[in-house]
Structure formats: C-alpha cells, structure tokens
Amino acid sequence: MADGVDLNPAVDFLAGTLSGIAGLFAGYPCDTGFAVKVRLQTPELAGHYRGSIARAIATIVKEETVFGLYKGITSPLLTFALMNGLVFSSYKFFLGIQGTLIADASLTQITFAGVGSGIVSAIVTAPTDLIKIRQQQCIGTSTARGVALGIIRTRGVAGLYRGTGTTMLRDSGYGAYFASYEATLRALAAPGEKRGGWQVLVAGGVAGIVGWLVTFPLDVVKTRVQGTGPGALLNSGTSQLVGEVAPIVNPYRTTWSTIVNSYRAEGIPAFYRGLAPTLIRALPVNMVTFGVFELVVNAFQ
C-alpha cells in the first residue's frame, strides 16, 4: 500500500471505492463460487447439492437455469464498492490514531488497524450478506429487493442486522488480510525500493488467500446464523419460512450455538465447506483490488 505520505482520507475512500468496483468486475466470472458456497454451507440445502463443485453447479443450472448462479449479485453491486472504500479509509484512520504511517507501522499495528476497519465495515456488510444469503437459498426466482422487503415485513428493519456480531468477528480477519499484504510486499521489495506493479499484484493475491483461510470458518458460522430464523425463505414460490418448518429450538440461533451444533453434527469439515470456490475467486479479485487502489493513491501523491 502506498506509504510515506499522509493523504486526505477522501482519497483513500475514493481509491477503495474504485478498487472495489474493479474487484467486482474481476470476480464476476467467478461469482458462481458464491452461489455454490452458500448452498454447501447451509445444512437444509447441502444434501441436495452433495458431491463435487461441478455437480453442484450443474444441479443449480438444471433447476434454475444459468441465472441461478448469479443470484444475489445485485446486492453487492450496489454496496460492495462503497464498503471497500469504507474498509480502506477506516484502515488508514486506525493506523493514524496509533500515530503511524504504513511505512513505519509494525505488522502488529497493521493488524490492529485491519481489525478495526473490519468491525466498522460489518455495519454495511451484515445486511448486505444477509440479503445475498437469503436470496441464494430461494429455490426459484427472487430479487434482492423482494428478499429485503420480506425480512422487514416479518422482523422489521432490525431483522436486516441478524448476524451482525458474527459478521464483526469474521470481518476482524481484515487484520490478517492487511498484515499479510504488507508482509508480502516487504518481503518482495528491499527497504526504500519502489514497489512495482507485479509485487502489488502478488501481495494482493496472497492477502486474499490468507484473509479467507483465516476467516472462512466464521464465514460458515455467519452463513448459518443469517440463513436460519424467522424470515429465511426456503422456497420463493410458496414463501415458506424456515421458522414454519424448522424445529422449535433453532440450533443456529447464536454464534456459539452454531459452532457447537455444527461441530457435533458434521465435525471440522463443516467449517470448510465451500472453501475451494471462494479461494479461486479471491485470487483475481484481490490482485485487481490492491492494484487499482495503489494506482489511484499514487496518482494523488
């Protein structure tokens, strides 16, 4: 990340927003991974898509056409870019309150700043992810707007923030994300050496992989917390709710109960279901995200 110059926070927000847009375009061909990941992580649906990733994709296409692979993309298109701007600008803010610039920051300071930015971003990502997950769980046609309105009708606006605590825990993984990016850059470039484009791309790819490896188990937990409870649609054609067919006691009502019940029922593998398509998508998305971010920031220096 560009260092040595304390830029206006608005520049970081702009650079983060533009890099978020670029990352979305880079990851769009791989967004089938999101559709598969959510369904493999949801116990009520996982059995229907059991087998290889290719088999899961084939099942979705057969039952819902190719558009089923891109359900839930509207929500991130509207919010991910701005959320990325918030992450990068708040990351710089949390570095600033520690009295350091990136060039002088220790990896510990960078980690703390990343954790802070993740917690802040969860305010935006929690409702966005909830809508995406509920939309992906619908067996049939659904829209982000329709899913959001359905949640509000059954649970009020507060229903959109189900799983926010779990989302904050997951997004605290931005600490590992930014720390691995800086650690890789420092390993590839000698002190004082100008960081080249290839170094930024490699470091971005490493950050994406490390970030997901660290946070993926909590992402599974978050998906289960947000994918169950009153207002979770199982069938958009009948508008049948999870709360109408699930046991009286929801095993995924809290973060802790989700961890315990998932482990008891499925063991450790439960927390890594859907990891492969996520890592495949993470590589190009984060290479482009950091590449564009550095490009924009350097243009303002």
In this predicted model, what pLDDT tens digit does every residue of 175-208 receive, in sequence order?
A: 999 999 999 999 998 777 777 789 999 999 999 9
pLDDT of residue 104: 87
Residue 41 CA to residue 62 CA, distance in Å, equals 20
* pLDDT grade for 19, boundaries at 50, 70 and 90: very high
Helix 32-41 / helix 275-300 crossing angle, nearest 10 deg: 130
Report which residue type is found at 77: L
Percent pLDDT > 70 in the chain is 77
The C-alpha atoms of residue 93 and residue 189 are separated, in whole angstroms, by 25
Measured distance between the N- and C-terminal CA atoms of the chain, rounded to whole angstroms: 12
Phi and psi at 172, nearest 5°, equal -65, -15
Can you give the residue ranges of every domain in the chain?
A: 9-300
Does domain 9-300 fall under CATH 3.40.1000.10? My reply is no
Q: Does 65 have pLDDT greater than 80? A: no
What pLDDT does 26 receive? 80
Span 284-301, pLDDT tens digits? 999 999 999 999 999 987
Q: Are 144 and 135 in contact (CB under 8 A)?
A: yes
Q: Which pLDDT does position 246 carry in this prediction? A: 47
Q: What is the pLDDT of residue 79?
A: 76
Query: Between 40 and 72, whose confidence is greater?
Result: 40
pTM: 0.81
Contact partners, residue 111, CB within 8 Å, separation at least 6: 175, 176, 178, 179
What H or E segment, with its residue span, contains residue 37? Answer: helix 32-41
Higher-pLDDT residue of 193 and 172 is: 172
| pLDDT tops 70 at residue 156 | yes
pLDDT score at 122:
94
Tokens of 98: 């520690």
pLDDT of residue 218: 97
Q: Which of helix, strand or coil describes residue 157?
A: helix
pLDDT tens-digit map of 246-297: 445 678 889 999 999 999 999 999 999 889 888 998 999 999 999 999 999 9
228 or 43: which carries more pLDDT confidence?
Answer: 228
Q: Give which of 108, 119, 128, 98 is closest to 178, Cα–Cα.
A: 108
Is residue 99's pLDDT more than 70? Answer: yes
Backbone angles phi, psi at 234, to 5 degrees: -100, -35
pLDDT value at residue 139: 63
Cα angle 70, 85, 296; round to 5: 105
Question: What is the model's pLDDT at position 241?
Answer: 44
Mean pLDDT of all residues belonging to the chain: 83
